[in-house]
Amino acid sequence: MKIYLVGGAIRDYLLNIKVTDKDWVVIGSNIKLMLKLGFKLVGKDFPVFLHPKTHEEYALARTEYKFGHGYKGFKYYVSPKITLKEDLLRRDLTINAIAQDELGNFYDPFNGLKDIKNRLLKHVSSSFKDDPLRVLRVARFAAKLKYLNFRIHDSTLELMKIMSNSGELSYLKPERIWKETYNALQSQNPQIFFQILKKCDALSIIFPEIDQLYGIPAPLKWHPEVDTGIHTMLTLKIISKLTNNVSTRFAALCHDLGKGLTPKKIWPRHPGHGKAGISLIKKLCKKLKIPNNIKNLSILAAQIHDIIHDIHNQKAEDILNIYNIIDAWRKPERVKQIALISEADARGRLTLELMKYKQGQYFIDIYKYISKINIKDIINNPLLKGIDINQKIQDERLKLLKYFLKLKN
């Protein structure tokens, strides 16, 4: 029996990325022997074990072949006779098909070490096309490793395009799509994930709401890039420099979805696109089973992002209403989230990436100032008995807000 460290742990170690999980493959063993050694069997589809002390995953070497559609359309074969090379052959990318023995020696039958050096994402074999999830995985790796100048090999990108046009992507489970998307949104360059999906014809299948934004014009005066799809990617790029929060990044991604519903006859204008986008956001989040907190923020951002651009010209009553709409009193984090999304929208335009966006901080400053009122004092004031407490609180907030605006003007 021989044990090798495999996959992402080796890749990340070689790239000086913090290793968070270690996966091991076991050659020349079987279930009975593993259980005898104290390993705990946890695999449902194929034998995977947890180490009795480290709790890291150990999988018996296996081969697989495609017989149906989607993730469940695989048959797995496990045997002590399966070689390390045969096990590595079934993996997706060469940089994930490197093994290391207990002495630190690398086993690299598919030149993964060379591809790491050359910053290439390249499929191991033609069996890559058997798993449609790999289209999303490679796009996600491209986003994750963009800062290290990794690129997808032309032949791999071509294979991804073939897979996208085969109909196989329609068999992917929503949970698996969202997991890959969520991980991509955590990367330094999540816009690369969606750009790659667009490049290999997958975006129209996985995210048609985003794909349809490409080719839709916006006024040149406000959008030098003109194309709404390009603007959306620029917005995602900017928001990812402003915050690591996935909810905020996703909401920024969805802020202009409503422009996909604007009638062509009034292009490049898009009146009411914020509210129009709500139905598309709800549909997308329901389809991919996206958590409610992310959906709700996305809806609010679509409604409000344009108003923040003009915050200096808004009436006190209208500004207070914005805080009420986003439920800022119970969810104060939303104030900064909305401010950042509006900033990303403003700066997510060609030639405007470095512009100063004072409106966002102004929106935050107003909230901080009017949050000074002591709610408990109002509630406990005996002189206010019988008075509508909520209305009194609103009145006090409005009074402070007007005073703040007077000071600033």
DSSP state string for 388-405? -HHHHHHHHHHHHHHHHH
DSSP structure class, residue 70: S
**Considering only CA atoms, which of 190, 115, 192, 206 is closest in space to residue 153?**
115
Q: Is the pLDDT of residue 46 over 80?
A: no
pLDDT score for 69: 66
| pLDDT tens-digit map of 202-260 | 999 999 999 999 999 999 999 999 999 999 999 999 999 999 999 999 999 999 999 99
The answer to whether 320 and 397 have CB atoms below 8 angstroms apart is yes
pLDDT score for 338: 98
Give the mean model confidence (pLDDT) for residues 35-39: 95
- Ramachandran region, residue 89 (left: φ > 0; alpha: ψ -120 to 50; beta: rest): alpha
| pLDDT tens-digit map of 124-183 | 999 999 999 999 999 999 999 999 999 999 999 999 999 999 999 999 999 999 999 999
Measured CA to CA in angstroms, residue 406 lies from 47, 128, 400, 401, 403 at distances of: 69, 64, 10, 9, 5
Which superfamily does CATH assign the domain made up of 1-115 to?
A: Beta Polymerase, domain 2 (3.30.460.10)
Strand locations in 17-93, DSSP E? 23-27, 40-41, 48-50, 57-60, 62-66, 74-78
SS3 at position 217: strand
Q: Is the pLDDT of residue 54 over 80?
A: yes
Above pLDDT 70, what percent of the chain?
Answer: 96
Length of the chain: 409
The answer to whether 340 and 248 have CB atoms below 8 angstroms apart is yes
pLDDT score for 391: 87
pLDDT score for 67: 64
Cβ neighbours around 214 below 10 Å, total = 16
Give the mean model confidence (pLDDT) for residues 34-47: 87
Name the H helices within 254-291: 273-288
Give the mean model confidence (pLDDT) for residues 343-351: 97
pLDDT score for 90: 92
Q: Strand 99-100 relative to strand 151-152: parallel, antiparallel, unpaired?
A: unpaired
Give the mean model confidence (pLDDT) for residues 3-30: 95
328 vs 363: CA distance, rounded Å: 12
Q: Is the pLDDT of residue 386 over 70?
A: no
Give the mean model confidence (pLDDT) for residues 93-122: 97
Give the mean model confidence (pLDDT) for residues 364-389: 83
Tokens representing 285? 């989040």
With bands split at pLDDT 50, 70 and 90, how would you rate the model's confidence at 380?
A: confident
With bands split at pLDDT 50, 70 and 90, how would you rate the model's confidence at 263?
A: very high
Mean pLDDT of the chain: 94
| pLDDT tens-digit map of 170-183 | 999 999 999 999 99
pLDDT score for 377: 78
Residue 212 has φ and ψ, to the nearest 5°, of: -70, -10
236 vs 252: CA distance, rounded Å: 6
Give the mean model confidence (pLDDT) for residues 384-409: 86
Name the H helices within 212-245: 228-242
For tokens 């002495």, what's the residue? 103
- The amino acid at residue 409 is N
Contacts of 3 (CB under 8 A, 6+ apart): 24, 25, 26, 27, 58, 102
For tokens 């090999």, what's the residue? 153
Q: Is the peptide bond before 208 cis (omega within 30 degrees of 0)?
A: no
- The amino acid at residue 112 is G
**Longest CA pairwise span in the chain (Å):** 85
| pLDDT tens-digit map of 294-325 | 999 999 999 999 999 999 999 999 999 999 99
**Considering only CA atoms, which of 257, 249, 241, 232 is closest in space to residue 348?**
232
pLDDT score for 72: 63
What's the chain's Rg over C-alpha atoms? 26
CA angle 382, 385, 388 (to 5 degrees): 135
| pLDDT tens-digit map of 56-72 | 999 999 998 776 665 66
CB environment 6-23: b (16+ within 10 A), e (fewer): bbbbbbbebeeeeeeebb
The answer to whether 205 and 132 have CB atoms below 8 angstroms apart is no
289 vs 302: CA distance, rounded Å: 19
pLDDT score for 408: 80
